[in-house]
Amino acid sequence: MRVDLLVTGFGPFPGVEDNPTARLARALDGAVLAGRRVAGRVLPTTWAEAWPTLLAAVAEVEPRGLIMLGVATQRAQIQVERVARNRCAPRADHLGCGPATDAVVPSGPPTLPTRLPWADLIDADVGVSDDAGDYLCNLVFYRALHDLALPRVGFVHVPAAPDAAAVRRLVKAVAATLDGAAC
């Protein structure tokens, strides 16, 4: 099943038992935005499963673009992450496990820039951030930029009570850029 854009959210993790990004991804599954088909999938919030599950979703839907959503409870605004860092902290995941020793990419550069047109996405509801953290959000963001040859790849953090309409507008704006996107 080929779609234009894959949007992912995460399941629960310590401190966030009801992850709003899972609801956002599910709500976008099957949507048509800017004439582009969207698939939504939920990634498990575990070090061992998040990346393989993302790879399986990409193989299943063969998207031209990928937007990953993560919750950042301390943020008040939706924020597009401009860079991913080749790092992760030894924090426990939803199952109480820490990251594998190969969670970072040994041969990878320290940072990679987003492949979203972030400057065009900024508005009253959407800002930018240069710190995707050191948890699973950053790990899948970095690995997707490093390992996937998609013209549009990015990560967006949302607050604990995100504005679903603003997220939908952001996804629609990215979908509209897929024709002009090059790897």
- The model's pLDDT over 137-172, given as tens digits with 9 standing for 90+, comes to 999 999 999 999 999 999 999 999 999 999 999 999
Report whether 104 contacts 44 (CB < 8 A): no
Q: Is residue 62 annotated as a catalytic residue, yes or no?
A: no
Output Rg (C-alpha) for the chain, integer angstroms: 15
Choice among 49, 88, 94, 137 that is catalytic = 137
- Maximal C-alpha separation, the chain: 42
Q: What's the confidence (pLDDT) of residue 183?
A: 47
User: Per residue in 32-74, pLDDT tens?
Assistant: 999 999 999 999 998 889 999 999 999 999 999 999 999 998 9
Of 49, 81, 88, 94, catalytic: 81
94 is catalytic: no
DSSP letter at 13 equals B
Q: Which amino acid is at 180?
A: G
Q: Determine the topology of domain 5-180 in CATH.
A: Aminopeptidase (3.40.630)
- Bridge partners of residue 8, in order along the sequence: 41, 68
Catalytic residue among 49, 88, 94, 157: 157
Active-site residue, 60 included:
no
**Model-wide pTM > 0.75:** yes
Instruction: Report the DSSP beta bridge partners of residue 41.
Output: 8
